[in-house]
């Protein structure tokens, strides 16, 4: 087992986190998120060409259609083209118009996907997504209070909020598209980050409750962190392994999803060590807090 003085480094690490959060929130306020079609509504058409697609030619064709601003760009590869615009049915403007126009100009690739979403749906999804995250956080807080103690709950929630904000900040800063799949990733991270926080909290509680353990709460917390360190690293590593597989082999549709998850796994492990512990130290978690544990898990669950 390693013996790293985590608690000693906690303050500088918290300062670093505060700085990162400052940048993330700043980016969110100043730049906002680059919302995907799911959330904004509109039309998108994905085309696949046999060879490198001539974007200028496509733009030229589409500019002859009045009534909308077309965004034409590559995605995934040179052969794949994405066309986005706001729908306008009164001018007969929809995915079919674009396809027909390109066909007329003899420059239509294979239509791999077309999508039309009306703005009100996007708006609703945005609200729903926000609610989902809040509900998840609240449900988890309840569970942790029930299973542990409120101070752990604060720690876990602080870590969650930290992780979510950092991921959102990175998506904002690098102008990555935030769509439904990224929202799903974000919620998965809520689960994952929690996983880490719980493993750490579980160990801290166990050590605090251990009658034979010697030392201050501070040193017991430090002991716990060192005990779970191997596990934290190994699990993050295996999860990152599969996420890299998704990132490399999963294709364009899952790219931002796996990216968000990958960032989340790293940030989640970090926050379980820094944020959770920071909150517990800040709230002066002590053996006294453990006197009336709501549950005695070691006895209540047993395999044998």
Partner 1 sequence: MNRFKVWQYFLIFSVLILGALFALPNIYPSKPALQIAVGDSSVQLNDNFLAGIKNELTKEEISYQSIEASEASVKIVLDDVESQLASRRVLADYSGGDFIIALTSEPSTPEWLQNLGASPINLGLDLAGGIHFLLEVDTDRYSEERLSSEAASLTDEFKNQGFLVNFESFNNRVLLKFSSLDDLEKGRDYLNQNNFTTSGSKYSLIQSNLDLELRYTDNYLSEIVDYAVEQNLVALRNRVNELGVSEPIVQREGRGRIVVELPGVQDSASAKKIIGKTANLEFRLEARNNDSFLRKEKFNYRNTFQGSAFLEKIVILTGDSVTNAQSSFDENGRPQVNISLDIEGGRAMQKATNGNIGRRLGVVLVEERTKTFFDQDDNVVQESYIEKGIISNATIQAVLGTSFRITGLSSSTEASELALLLRAGALAAPMKFVEEQTIGPTLGQENIEKGINSIIIGFILVFIFMLIRYRLFGLSANIALMCNLILVVSIMSLVGGTLTLPGIAGIVLTVGMAVDANVLIFARISEEIKNNIDPQNAIRNGFSKAFSTIMDANITTLIVALILYAIGTGPIKGFAVTLSIGIVTSIFTAILVTRSLVNLIYGYRDLKDLKI
**Contacts with partner 1 in 144-203 (CB under 8 A)?**
144, 147, 180-181, 183-184, 187-188, 190-192, 194-195, 198-199, 202-203
Spatial distance between the Cα atoms of 108 and 62, rounded to a whole number of angstroms: 12
Spatial distance between the Cα atoms of 164 and 157, rounded to a whole number of angstroms: 11
Interface stretch with partner 1, choices 132-140, 208-216, 273-281, 283-291 (CB under 8 A): 132-140
Counting contacts by CB under 8 A, is residue 30 touching partner 1?
A: no
The DSSP bridge pattern shows strands 42-48 and 77-85 to be: antiparallel
Counting contacts by CB under 8 A, is residue 71 touching partner 1?
A: no
Burial level of 291, CB count in 10 A (0-12/13-18/19+)? exposed
Least gap, CB of 19 to partner 1 (angstroms): 28
Name which of 288, 232, 293, 290 is nearest 265 in CA terms: 232
Compute CA distances 233 → 34, 129, 146, 157, 212, whole Å: 32, 30, 28, 21, 28
Counting contacts by CB under 8 A, is residue 108 touching partner 1?
A: no
Interface stretch with partner 1, choices 51-59, 140-148, 212-220, 278-286 (CB under 8 A): 140-148
**Residue with smaller CB distance to partner 1, 8 or 128:** 128
Helix (H/G/I), strand (E/B), else coil: 11: helix
Counting contacts by CB under 8 A, is residue 254 touching partner 1?
A: yes
Instruction: Out of 31, 34, 88, 213, point to the residue binding partner 1 (CB under 8 A).
Output: 88
- Tokens (6 digits) for 295: 């549950």
Instruction: Out of 28, 240, 283, 287, point to the residue binding partner 1 (CB under 8 A).
Output: 240
Instruction: Out of 2, 18, 73, 234, point to the residue binding partner 1 (CB under 8 A).
Output: 234
- Tokens (6 digits) for 61: 């064709």
Counting contacts by CB under 8 A, is residue 87 touching partner 1?
A: yes
Q: By CB under 8 A, what part of segment 210-229 binds partner 1? A: 227-228
Counting contacts by CB under 8 A, is residue 112 touching partner 1?
A: yes
For 32, residues 6+ apart whose C-beta sits below 8 A from its C-beta are 172
Least gap, CB of 248 to partner 1 (angstroms): 7
Instruction: Out of 114, 177, 219, 286, point to the residue binding partner 1 (CB under 8 A).
Output: 114
Counting contacts by CB under 8 A, is residue 59 touching partner 1?
A: no
**Residue with smaller CB distance to partner 1, 72 or 228:** 228
Spatial distance between the Cα atoms of 170 and 244, rounded to a whole number of angstroms: 18
Assess contact for 192 and 264: CB atoms under 8 A. yes
Counting contacts by CB under 8 A, is residue 119 touching partner 1?
A: yes
Counting contacts by CB under 8 A, is residue 102 touching partner 1?
A: no
Name which of 292, 301, 300 is nearest 209 in CA terms: 292
Least gap, CB of 198 to partner 1 (angstroms): 5
Least gap, CB of 168 to partner 1 (angstroms): 17
Counting contacts by CB under 8 A, is residue 74 touching partner 1?
A: no
Spatial distance between the Cα atoms of 256 and 229, rounded to a whole number of angstroms: 28
Counting contacts by CB under 8 A, is residue 290 touching partner 1?
A: no
């Amino acid at each position: 087992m390693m013996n790293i003085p985590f608690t000693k480094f906690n303050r500088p690490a918290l300062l670093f986190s505060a700085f990162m959060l400052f940048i993330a929130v700043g980016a969110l306020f100043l730049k906002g998120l680059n919302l995907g079609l799911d959330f904004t509504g509109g039309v998108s058409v994905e085309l696949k060409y046999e060879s490198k697609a001539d974007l200028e030619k496509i733009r030229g064709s589409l500019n002859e259609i009045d009534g909308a601003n077309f965004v034409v760009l590559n995605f995934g590869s040179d052969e794949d083209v994405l066309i986005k615009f706001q729908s306008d049915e009164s001018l007969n403007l929809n995915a079919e118009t674009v396809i027909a126009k390109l066909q007329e100009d003899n420059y239509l690739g294979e239509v791999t996907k077309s999508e039309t979403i009306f703005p009100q749906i996007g708006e609703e999804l945005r609200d729903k997504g926000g609610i989902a995250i809040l509900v998840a956080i609240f449900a988890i807080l309840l569970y942790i209070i029930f299973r542990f103690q409120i101070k752990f709950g604060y720690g876990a929630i602080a870590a969650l909020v930290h992780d979510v904000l950092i991921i959102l900040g990175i998506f904002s800063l690098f102008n990555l598209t935030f769509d439904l799949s990224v929202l799903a990733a974000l919620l998965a991270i809520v689960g994952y980050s929690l996983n880490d926080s719980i493993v750490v909290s579980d160990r801290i509680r166990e050590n605090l409750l251990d009658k034979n353990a010697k030392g201050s709460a501070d040193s017991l917390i430090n002991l716990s962190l060192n005990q779970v360190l191997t596990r934290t690293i190994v699990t993050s590593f295996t999860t990152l392994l599969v996420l890299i597989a998704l990132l490399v082999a999963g294709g364009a549709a899952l790219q931002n999803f796996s990216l968000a998850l990958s960032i989340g796994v790293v940030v989640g492990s970090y926050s379980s060590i820094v944020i959770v512990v920071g909150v517990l130290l800040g709230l002066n978690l002590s053996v006294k807090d453990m006197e009336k544990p709501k549950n005695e898990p070691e006895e209540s669950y047993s395999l044998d």
